[in-house]
Structure 1
Amino acid sequence: MYAKNLARILGLLCQDSDVSHSIPQEFDDRFDSLRRYGKLPRGRERREEQLTPHHIAAAIFGLVPLHPGWAGHVAIVLGGLRPVGGPGASFFGAETISDVVGILLAVEEARKSFIRMTLTVAETGVNSNGGAEVVYLHDGQKRRAYFVPDGAISLLSPGAENGFDPDRNRMNAPAMREMSFNQEFFRRLARECALAERFAAPPEGDGSEYNVEEAERIRYQKLGVRNNSRYLHIGVDNQVTWPKEEQLITFDRYQLVLMPKTKEHVQSVHIDLIGNRVDQRTALTVINRFLSVMAWCDDNFAIAGFGWSGNPVPVPVTKRDLAFTTATHYIFDRKIPGSEEARRALALFREARNAQQNGFVSYAVLNYYKIIEIRNYGKEAVRKWFLTNFEALQAASKKNDDITRFLALCGSEPPHKYIHDSCRIAVAHAGKHSKSDPDDAHEIVRLHTAARVMHLLARRFIEQDFAISDLMYSGD
């Protein structure tokens, strides 16, 4: 049995499974997903490779998800399901649900006793998906074998099937989709497999199902993707010169992939952590260095935004669609603060929050500090304020993770001294005692940690010194 032939056969067997018919393209997409996940032979050169029973089982499991692109992932999830109570309580001693399919295809006696197999990929446990039920006859009696994820260790031991309640143990999701395969399905599928083995014939079609895969392979080769690649993806907001099409470039001794802006995506930089032999923070520093060089060359801005890591190939970064607060009944009653100092404090606070949100963390730290300086003149006065109020903030927020991380940064240095010397001086000056580097990922993390604590202190100062309410309808 070849993969292309199996896709046609499964399409015919499933054509009456719903009021709407599946189209051939859907099965092509499902089989493409299965190949990507290594559950079917991959590549045109393996087009004439005979499928094993486990390949066929994966193809059947790939019919379960609603969206074809999830077929490969679901085949992995369902293929590992194991029988409740162990093989002794299973259908014909099958150790996995994949083995059940293999037995049904090979053993006529098993097909005669088989009634139905029901599969679901819904959440059947906490952070655990997938479940199956096999109904069959044994000595004239109807029996049921249940299959669960292999992480459910307590259910896999002999005897666990006696107290297993499928309705109670499979109700984690409030709604659940299931797909069933009956005796006729496996009878006809087994017959097709036997005919394919007896009367050898080439695979159906012209192999066009591999065109997209081959084009993608060529694309990834141009981008320097390797078998073990793991990419860090960073979105970029910029007005520097950028390639019109995705491109692999060399920056110093590093290989970077640049992707252009589209209707749905922002410009982005991608770096292979494995291929470049860097960890995530070093990679982020390299990307920042690259953007700094580009900002200098084009005399324009280049801001590193949000991102993630882990994909085996470069993935475009979707434009941000940030959530915001709305109100059905918008109640507002505020006045401009009468004090010049209060107005300036709110202005600095807004600039600090804007900077913190958009990656200008050095500027955020400096503005939070400037708020405290409005009524505390000189280094010693500011230090004293931070000493008193940090202790009060710490006492009021004993389980605040930001404060815990900040104290770890301070080490043996008192927090009020650290804020002045390692935060304010570090970001406001560039002398021999200040070597803050806004490209360095470690420094960025340090400043973000400090900014979160200084944000709390700045709010405390504005609330206490200027008695400014944070209610939109306070009338202040």
Structure 2
Amino acid sequence: MYARDLMIWLHDRLAERGTLDQTKERFESLRRYNLLPQGRENAGVRISNKQIANAILGFAHYSSGYAGHVSLILGDLRPVGGINASFRNAANLQDAVAILVSTDDDGTGLLRLTLSVEQDFTSDEFAATLRFRNKDKTRTVSFVSKYALSLFNEGAENKYDHDRLDKLTAVERSFGAKIFRDLSRTVSISRQLDRPFKTDWREYETEEEKAAFHRKLGARQSSRFLNLRADTQVTWPKEPTRMEFGGHHLILFPKTKDNSHSVSIDLIQERMSQDAAATLINRMLSVMSWCNDQPASLHEGWSGSPVPAPVPKKNLASTTINEWYFYRTLPTDENLLRCLAYYRDALNAYSVGLASHSVLSFFRVFETRYDTKKKVTEWVNAVFPDIEPAVLESALKAFEADRQLEQVDIGTYVYHNCRVATAHAARDFPSDPDRAEESRRLLNASRIMQSLARFFIKQEFNFSTTYLTDNPN
């Protein structure tokens, strides 16, 4: 089977009618990530089962422009419990889907494959579950990030909650046995017939033009780019521009109708880690911000693309309701009003990645009462067991890892390593917000301090958390 034939086959079964342009965009994204053959010279290359798997995984995300990024991440998810607990001993999700593609007699026992994009206001996380019958028993294999090392130990699948959801919501796409059975047979027939590739070669002119454009921006065969969104009012080029800063090359993409300002850097050619690259970009934005006397901040993105890519605009989540109910009254307690203002200020700062400001504003909430080091540390240590269940497991693990590096108790870490470090140019607790590691540490801490601040407001003022009533009970 050729990539173009697969595109039409999958579009007819997985996409809405009249959206072929979006399916084409998905396949272009997959090519940009080297997940499908690139260029006119490879148009007639038959694709492998793993490449077919890449295309299927690219349909997991609702945004067609993210297909390559999503497929790359999903394909590298690893089975909970290790290879021995996996489906047909597949080392990762790409291998598992390739196995499903290669078996046309329904001998896999597949019941359902579910791809999950978990979402909240800050980021996406990816997971998958594969349910199948094995010797008259139903088994479930979950595929998770390769960085979840503790979940790959033998027997981990027995204690793992395969239905867990850490984020606020999840967009899921499920596949049954029939689609893989039909696809496998189609692929098998195509390979047996071995018909020559027929297409209008002009289809690939745009792709070749894009390749030339990417080479102009510094893309090489071995390139792996980090692409990050920038929220800024500083002077910015109106065309994609390659520039040098700090002895390294950066690519700046302008803001468009669909894309944000963004910065890309080739981690391979520049011989940099993601943290080092993000720190360098922060340094550049700091200089730009100083020269323009305007704000500039760095935000989410992705890494691993073989070409520099603009970052799509972020669609902030919101909730609307047909019947509008809001039965709250204006509080009369001035201290409560200040705490609510600090809390909203912190949420706003966190939403745009201003880690230092977010930490300080959340801290100011409970500092209204616990205004000395001794009071704060004692209060935090006392209430932490109460707020711990409300914190996302991933945020809690990151916070604990950072705290244990400092070898201090939780209250001391919140006071010294968060509040003092960000509020003062403290010699003993230096905090450089341009450093990617420090920004990430403070954003981790913000999630914990948000829970502390929310707990304080609810307990101190007995304040309701619903639109419907001032009564908290």
Residue segments in structure 2 that go unaligned for 5+ positions in a row: 14-20, 72-92, 114-133, 141-173
1:186 CA drift (Å): 8.8
Tell me how far apart the structure 1 counterparts of residues 98 and 29 of structure 2 sit (CA, whole Å). 21
**Residues 248-283 of structure 1: CA deviation (Å, up to 9, x unaligned):** 110111110111111111110001111111111111
Tell me how far apart the structure 2 counterparts of residues 204 and 232 of structure 1 sit (CA, whole Å). 36
**Paired residue for 2:458, among 460, 463, 468?**
463
Contact residue 237 and residue 302 of structure 1 kept, 8 A: yes
**Paired residue for 2:263, among 247, 258, 269?**
269
Distance 1:415 1:132, change over 3 A: closer
Larger Rg: 1
1:430 equivalent to 2:432? Answer no
SS of the aligned residue for 1:354 comes to: helix
Tell me how far apart the structure 2 counterparts of residues 392 and 34 of structure 1 sit (CA, whole Å). 46
**Paired residue for 1:367, among 352, 358, 361?**
361
Q: Which AA in structure 2 matches 1:262?
A: T
Distance 1:131 1:148, change over 3 A: farther
Calculate the TM-score normalised by the size of structure 1: 0.63
Distance 1:354 1:393, change over 3 A: same
Aligned CA-pair RMSD: 4.9
SS of the aligned residue for 1:131 comes to: helix
Distance 1:126 1:40, change over 3 A: closer
**Residues 42-70 of structure 1: CA deviation (Å, up to 9, x unaligned):** 556x89xxx7xx73999xx89x9899999
Tell me how far apart the structure 1 counterparts of residues 232 and 278 of structure 2 sit (CA, whole Å). 16
Distance 1:148 1:30, change over 3 A: farther
1:176 CA drift (Å): 5.2
1:126 CA drift (Å): 7.7
Tell me how far apart the structure 2 counterparts of residues 408 and 133 of structure 1 sit (CA, whole Å). 44
Identity fraction in percent: 34
Contact residue 131 and residue 147 of structure 1 kept, 8 A: no
Distance 1:368 1:222, change over 3 A: same
The residue correspondences of 1:327-338 to structure 2 (distance < 5 A) are: 327-338=321-332
Identify the residue that residue 46 of structure 2 maps to in structure 1.
55
Identify the residue that residue 403 of structure 1 maps to in structure 2.
396
Distance 1:186 1:467, change over 3 A: closer
Tell me how far apart the structure 1 counterparts of residues 352 and 300 of structure 2 sit (CA, whole Å). 10
**Paired residue for 2:375, among 366, 378, 381?**
381
SS of the aligned residue for 1:55 comes to: coil
Q: Which AA in structure 1 matches 2:282?
A: N
1:237 CA drift (Å): 1.4
1:432 CA drift (Å): 2.2
Identify the residue that residue 342 of structure 2 maps to in structure 1.
348
**Residues 421-444 of structure 1: CA deviation (Å, up to 9, x unaligned):** 111111111142342111101101
Tell me how far apart the structure 2 counterparts of residues 249 and 225 of structure 1 sit (CA, whole Å). 14
Contact residue 40 and residue 201 of structure 2 kept, 8 A: no
**Paired residue for 2:211, among 187, 196, 217?**
217
Tell me how far apart the structure 2 counterparts of residues 271 and 456 of structure 1 sit (CA, whole Å). 35
Distance 1:33 1:275, change over 3 A: closer
**Residues 138-188 of structure 1: CA deviation (Å, up to 9, x unaligned):** xxxxxx696899xx9xxxxxxxxxx999xx99xx7259554666999899x
Runs of 4+ in structure 1 over 4 Å off: 28-44, 64-71, 123-130, 144-149, 174-177, 179-187, 203-210, 396-401
SS of the aligned residue for 1:320 comes to: coil
Identify the residue that residue 286 of structure 1 maps to in structure 2.
280
1:398 CA drift (Å): 9.5
1:446 CA drift (Å): 1.1
Contact residue 230 and residue 260 of structure 2 kept, 8 A: yes
1:439 equivalent to 2:434? Answer yes
Tell me how far apart the structure 2 counterparts of residues 440 and 147 of structure 1 sit (CA, whole Å). 48
**Residues 65-90 of structure 1: CA deviation (Å, up to 9, x unaligned):** 8999999x99xxxxxxxxxxxxxxxx
